[in-house]
Amino acid sequence: MHHLDKIVKLHGLLKSRRTPISGPEIDKELGCSKATRQRLVDDLRDRLNAPLVCDRSAGGYYYDRDDPRHPFELPGIWLTAEELQALIACQHLLGNLAPGLLQNEIGQLRDHLQKLLDRSPGVKTPQLGRIKILSQAYRSRNDDLFLTLVQALFNQHRLIIQYHARSDDQTSERPVSPQNLVLYKDNWYLDAYCHQRNEPRTFALDRIRSATASGEPAQLLDPATLQQHFGSSYGIFAGTPKHTAILNFSAKAGRWVADETWHSQQESEWLTDGRYQLRIPFNRHEELLMDILKYGAEVEVVEPGFLRELVVNEIARLKDIYF
């Protein structure tokens, strides 16, 4: 069959119109010759059994709405060559975002898309090796656990999880209602309502030892509550913001930081001395402190005082190690 992508486009033109479309207009929309248009019409009408009528007196080509075959749809999966290329690139990106995660399923999808693409004459397979995602410090993943969490999330089921917390090196059993799965800095997290603590919590997937369905429906929080708890403070640590960090970056560092979004509600400005000031709402300080320290002397913590003192304490500890 000739030019599958153009058949899809022609079908889309005919399906979307309530009036006939002329031959020259089809040629212009599809970027094809009169001869190619005729082959497309023949394929669509004779091989795919579309209710396609050509009536010059009526103004051109159209789908006969009185035909028993109407409404007509193309059989199976029909995508243009460009859409297939985009899908193959997307599955490649997905595989690189989570190495080892759902690789069998992603591989099957890739093979199926490749077969469809091979049927499109003159279309090259995307050179996926030219697309790279460099992950850093990502932690181990468990495919079976991930699928269990996804199923519970989509089916709105409550889970019983065994969770090992790094903070106190203790394992506890938690009944939770999944709310969101979050990929943050190359690692997966589960936002859930913890029925043991009676509040929303975030759980690192690599610390969940097991997860089983409890048989009870999940308790779902409304989007506004989720956003207030999980999205209003800096970083993965959730909760209502209690502080605002005021950070003054050097002019050099500011050229990079000015183009970055550290938080959706951040405020910023260039100071008269050339430095760049960033103001960020936060609840817990741990992650923010680490991100500040990586800039070294290129950033100064102006407020709050306790955060500035924490930076001073870290500098003192570094001096004890290196001097």
Within its chain, how far is the Cα of 184 from the centroid? 11
pLDDT of 190 reads 92
Tell me if 235 is assigned to some domain.
no
Tell me if 75 is assigned to some domain.
no
Q: Which CATH number characterizes residue 265's domain? A: 3.30.70
Task: Quickly state the pLDDT bin for 1 (edges 50, 70, 90).
Answer: very low
Tell me if 237 is assigned to some domain.
no
Per-residue pLDDT averaged across 122-145, rounded? Answer: 68
Task: Quickly state the pLDDT bin for 310 (edges 50, 70, 90).
Answer: very high
**Do 152 and 195 fall into the same domain?**
yes
Range among 98-102, 135-139, 292-296 with highest mean pLDDT value: 292-296
Per-residue pLDDT averaged across 122-147, rounded? Answer: 70
Neighbouring C-beta atoms of residue 277, cutoff 10 Å: 17
**Do 168 and 120 fall into the same domain?**
no
Tell me if 223 is assigned to some domain.
yes
* DSSP 8-class letter at 45: I
CA pair distance 164, 140, nearest whole angstrom = 14
pLDDT of 302 reads 98
H-type helices in the chain, by residue range? 4-16, 23-30, 34-42, 81-97, 103-118, 143-155, 223-230, 251-257, 286-293, 305-322
pLDDT of 193 reads 94
How many structural domains does the chain have? 4
Full domain range(s) for residue 101? 81-130
Per-residue CA distances from 243 to 46, 246, 257, 279 (Å): 69, 10, 20, 10
**Do 30 and 56 fall into the same domain?**
yes
Could you report the per-residue pLDDT of 230-279, keeping only the tens digit for each?
A: 877 787 877 788 999 999 999 999 999 999 999 989 999 999 999 999 99
Looking at 230, 251, 283, which one is the last position of a domain?
230
Tell me if 86 is assigned to some domain.
yes
**Do 93 and 157 fall into the same domain?**
no
**Do 55 and 96 fall into the same domain?**
no
Tell me if 137 is assigned to some domain.
no
Tell me if 192 is assigned to some domain.
yes
H or E element at residue 229: helix 223-230
Tell me if 47 is assigned to some domain.
yes
Could you report the per-residue pLDDT of 203-218, keeping only the tens digit for each?
A: 999 999 999 999 899 9
CA pair distance 300, 250, nearest whole angstrom = 8
Residue bearing the bigger pLDDT, 283 or 93: 283
Residue bearing the bigger pLDDT, 187 or 305: 305
- Percent pLDDT > 70 in the chain is 81
Task: Quickly state the pLDDT bin for 132 (edges 50, 70, 90).
Answer: low
Looking at 230, 263, 290, which one is the last position of a domain?
230
Q: What is the mean pLDDT of the chain?
A: 84
Could you report the per-residue pLDDT of 18-74, keeping only the tens digit for each?
A: 889 898 998 998 888 989 989 888 888 887 788 888 888 888 898 888 787 778 887
**Do 124 and 152 fall into the same domain?**
no
Per-residue CA distances from 299 to 128, 146, 303 (Å): 39, 39, 12
pTM value is 0.64
**Do 277 and 304 fall into the same domain?**
yes
**Do 260 and 190 fall into the same domain?**
no
Per-residue pLDDT averaged across 101-123, rounded? Answer: 65
Asked whether 78 and 114 are in contact (CB, 8 A), the reply is no
Q: Which CATH number characterizes residue 50's domain? A: 1.10.10.10
Q: Evaluate if residue 77 carries a pLDDT over 90.
A: no
**Do 216 and 273 fall into the same domain?**
no
**Do 148 and 99 fall into the same domain?**
no
Residue bearing the bigger pLDDT, 315 or 137: 315
